[in-house]
């Protein structure tokens, strides 16, 4: 996954008052006042629509996606579970997106060839302003944080992989009903957690950034966001690169009563956002790294919660609709 233990940098911890104007009625300007009234009414209706869409995230649907992924088995590249999960994601996205594509690539590792693929879902592809949301869907081939007898077994990846994908699948459903005014690109990366050395991490996001034909205005990665005890701090690489975007997202969470987003730095994490940052693209990582079951066989659904998925899903939807 993202942060390999040797790369953790623990030392780098670094309402609005609403003024309502008085309304005065002047009978000599009735058409003007009627026009203002209708414009105000339309604005309220549009705003209400956006707010309703923001609250339409269904945690039960998201949870069903998490359980479905884990039921396939570890989604390790080259496995049947990996192929089944990929087909599942494609079918789900086709229900909601304006366009769904698969981006295949091949990785040579240990004398063997692995077929991998990113999955890309797009809303409003012709709109110039683009927002990118992403997660990885593969699960780690080695439980290297588990006991020695388990260290070569693949992890279930309920939180580390399935949680982020589950949120984005449900976000896609809500966006299909809410008509965002920006173009939204959702990407599920493959090969994030594949190797034992940094060379074999972030394979899908590296490939994606090398073949991009657009530049998102803002981009958000979500990873390990299903933890029952959800505490999402500023990630240092994200904050150093994109301070204003980090503060924008955490500010939205605070204003909407979502307390899991904590406006303090805690970890410096290598994850799928790094290839974007290296390309000069503003991408931040929403991640809770305080997860004791990371890279173990105990990364199972009982360590996750619907409430955590909903918290992150709501923030993403509020963010997307605020961009219009």
- pLDDT tens across 32-54, in order? 333 333 333 333 334 434 444 44
The two three-digit tokens of residue 315, written as one number:
């923030």
pLDDT of 173 > 90? The answer is: yes
Mean pLDDT of the chain: 86
Which residues, at least 6 apart from 165, have a Cβ–Cβ distance to it below 8 Å? Answer: 65, 69, 89, 135, 136, 137, 188
Q: Rounded to two decimals, what is the model's pTM?
A: 0.84
* Least confident residue range of 16-20, 100-104, 176-180, 221-225: 16-20
Look at residue 196 in the predicted model and tell me its pLDDT: 84
Answer for the pair 226, 309: CB distance below 8 angstroms, yes or no: yes
Q: 46-91: per-residue pLDDT in tens?
A: 443 444 444 599 999 999 999 999 999 999 999 999 999 999 999 9
pLDDT of residue 39: 37
Helices (H), the chain: 30-54, 59-72, 80-94, 164-178, 203-210, 236-241, 243-255, 274-278, 306-322
| Per-domain residue ranges of the chain | 5-9+57-322
Cα gap 247→322, rounded to integer Å = 14
**Would you say how long the chain is, in residues?**
324
264-285 pLDDT, tens digit per residue, is 999 999 999 999 999 999 999 9
- The pLDDT assigned to 66 comes to 98
Tell me yes or no: is domain 5-9+57-322 CATH 3.40.630.10. yes
| pLDDT tier at 197, thresholds 50, 70, 90 | confident
pLDDT at residue 109, rounded to an integer:
85
Average pLDDT over residues 217-244: 98
Q: How confident is the model at residue 306 (pLDDT cuts 50, 70, 90)?
A: very high
pLDDT of residue 169: 98
Judge whether residue 8 has pLDDT over 80.
Answer: no
Pairing between strand 183-189 and 112-123? Answer: antiparallel
Nearest alpha carbon to residue 250 among 49, 238, 324: 238
What span, in angstroms and rounded, lies between the C-alpha atoms of 135 and 283? 12
CA–CA dist 63, 248 (Å, integer): 27
Query: Are the beta carbons of 129 and 220 closer than 8 angstroms?
Result: no
| Cα 103 from Cα 115, distance rounded (Å) | 11
């Amino acid at each position: 996954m993202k942060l390999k233990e040797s790369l953790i940098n623990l030392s780098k911890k670094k309402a609005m008052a609403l003024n309502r104007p008085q309304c005065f009625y002047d009978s000599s300007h009735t058409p003007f006042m009627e026009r203002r009234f209708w414009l105000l009414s339309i604005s309220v209706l549009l705003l209400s629509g956006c707010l309703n869409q923001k609250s339409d995230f269904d945690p039960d649907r998201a949870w069903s996606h998490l359980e479905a992924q884990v039921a396939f088995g570890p989604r390790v590249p080259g496995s049947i579970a990996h192929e089944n999960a990929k087909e599942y994601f494609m079918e789900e996205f086709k229900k909601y997106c304006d366009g769904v594509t698969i981006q295949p690539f091949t990785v040579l590792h240990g004398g063997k060839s692995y077929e991998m693929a990113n999955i890309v879902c797009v809303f409003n592809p012709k709109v110039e302003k683009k927002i990118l949301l992403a997660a990885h869907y593969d699960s780690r081939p080695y439980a290297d944080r588990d006991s020695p007898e388990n260290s070569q077994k693949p992890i279930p990846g309920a939180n580390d992989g399935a949680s982020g994908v589950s949120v984005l699948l449900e976000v896609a459903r809500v966006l299909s009903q809410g008509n965002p005014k920006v173009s939204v690109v959702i990407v599920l990366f493959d090969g994030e957690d594949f190797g034992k050395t940094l060379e074999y991490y972030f394979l899908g996001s590296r490939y994606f950034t090398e073949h991009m034909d657009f530049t998102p205005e803002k981009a958000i990665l979500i990873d390990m966001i299903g933890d029952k005890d959800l505490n999402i701090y500023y990630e240092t690489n994200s904050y150093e690169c994109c301070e204003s975007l980090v503060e924008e997202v955490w500010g939205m969470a605070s204003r909407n009563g979502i307390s899991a987003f904590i406006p303090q730095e805690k970890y410096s994490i290598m994850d799928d956002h790094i290839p974007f940052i290296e390309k000069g693209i503003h991408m931040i990582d929403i991640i809770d790294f305080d997860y004791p079951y990371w890279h173990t066989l105990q990364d199972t659904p009982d360590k996750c919660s619907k409430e955590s998925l909903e918290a992150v899903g709501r923030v993403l939807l509020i963010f997307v609709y605020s961009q219009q």
